[in-house]
Amino acid sequence: MSVQIAPSILSADFSALGRDVAAVGRGGADLIHVDVMDGHFVPNITIGPPVVRSLRRATALPLDVHLMITSPDDYLEAFVQAGASMVSVHVEATIHLHRTVHAIKSLGAKAGVVLNPSTPVSALEEIAADVDFVLLMSVNPGFAGQSFIPRSITKITAVRALLDGVGNVAAPIEVDGGIDLLTAPAVVVAGARILVAGSAIFTAPDPERATRDLKAVADQALLAGMPPR
């Protein structure tokens, strides 16, 4: 097993998304991370289903859609129909989380649950057995280019223990925010298996190479002898 790299198009050139996703694809990206923001749940506005639909035609890689919006239930179908393979919702934005997770699954996508940095791991307890993956924010959502919050490391370990404890050993932990060549090894050692990276990849002079380098560093950390998964 290797660590999956999910470049976030938030830091890509929105006028050349096809070119940018092709570049990270050549670099070995496993997923394309799509940050959807509504200006309410987070103080920024990005994109909606039409862009996901265009991306679906531009790349064969699975589209990992991270919904940072209020009322995510109202848009699940639109995003899955547009081509999302994975859809994640914030516990802070979702009232009936169990219903939402199963709605995503019944639409045929993988269901992820996201925790903000200040949200305790205990918020996952009742849903941990149902999720396909957990996305841990290691910055406050809304913007690319922020610094990794070190406390996220212990949170990764705690979520891994929670998932394993309920028998959901197959569900990976994805980490999002401030991931680069310096922060990646520690999150992998702690148990992360999907790394989102925006600025570290798309503000690099060569995004293809930046993807390859991040994957190499992450896989090295995995091999260096860490706890399983």
Query: Would you tell me which residues interact with ligand DX5 (CB under 6 A)?
Result: 8, 10-11, 33, 35, 66, 139, 141-142, 144-146, 176-179, 196-200
The yes-or-no answer on residue 130 being catalytic is no
Told to check if 35 binds Zn ion by CB under 5 A, we report: yes
Told to check if 38 binds Zn ion by CB under 5 A, we report: no
The yes-or-no answer on residue 13 being catalytic is no
Q: If we measure between CA atoms, which residue out of 147, 152, 151 comes closest to residue 135?
A: 152
Interface segment toward Zn ion; rule CB under 5 A; list 76-84, 107-115, 144-152, 174-182: 174-182
Nearer to Zn ion, 66 or 160 (CB): 66
Measured at CB, which residue is nearest to ligand DX5? Answer: 198
Q: Which of 38, 64, 176, 213 is catalytic?
A: 176
Q: Looking at this protein, which amino acid is placed at residue 109?
A: A
- In the complex, the smallest distance separating the C-beta of residue 165 from Zn ion, rounded to whole angstroms, is 26
Q: Which residues of 101-138 are buried (b: 16+ CB within 10 A; e: fewer)?
A: bebbeeeebbbbbbbbeebebeebeebbebbbbbbbbb
In whole angstroms, give the CA distance from residue 206 to residue 204. 5
With beta carbons less than 8 A apart as the criterion, state whether 134 and 157 touch.
no
Q: Which of 30, 35, 64, 213 is catalytic?
A: 35
The entry of ligand DX5, Zn ion, none near residue 11 (CB within 5 to 8 angstroms by kind) is ligand DX5
With beta carbons less than 8 A apart as the criterion, state whether 9 and 21 touch.
yes
Residues 148, 149, 154, 157, CA torsion sign = negative
With beta carbons less than 8 A apart as the criterion, state whether 38 and 69 touch.
yes
- In the complex, the smallest distance separating the C-beta of residue 167 from Zn ion, rounded to whole angstroms, is 27
The entry of ligand DX5, Zn ion, none near residue 198 (CB within 5 to 8 angstroms by kind) is ligand DX5
The entry of Zn ion, ligand DX5, none near residue 94 (CB within 5 to 8 angstroms by kind) is none
Told to check if 215 binds Zn ion by CB under 5 A, we report: no
Q: If we measure between CA atoms, which residue out of 68, 107, 64 comes closest to residue 87?
A: 64
- The dihedral region occupied by 103, where left means phi > 0, alpha psi between -120 and 50, and beta the remainder, is alpha
Told to check if 176 binds Zn ion by CB under 5 A, we report: yes
Nearer to Zn ion, 20 or 176 (CB): 176
Nearer to ligand DX5, 67 or 106 (CB): 67
DSSP 75: G
Nearer to ligand DX5, 159 or 194 (CB): 194
With beta carbons less than 8 A apart as the criterion, state whether 7 and 202 touch.
yes
The contact set with Zn ion (CB under 5 A) reads 35, 66, 176
Catalytic residue annotation: 35, 176
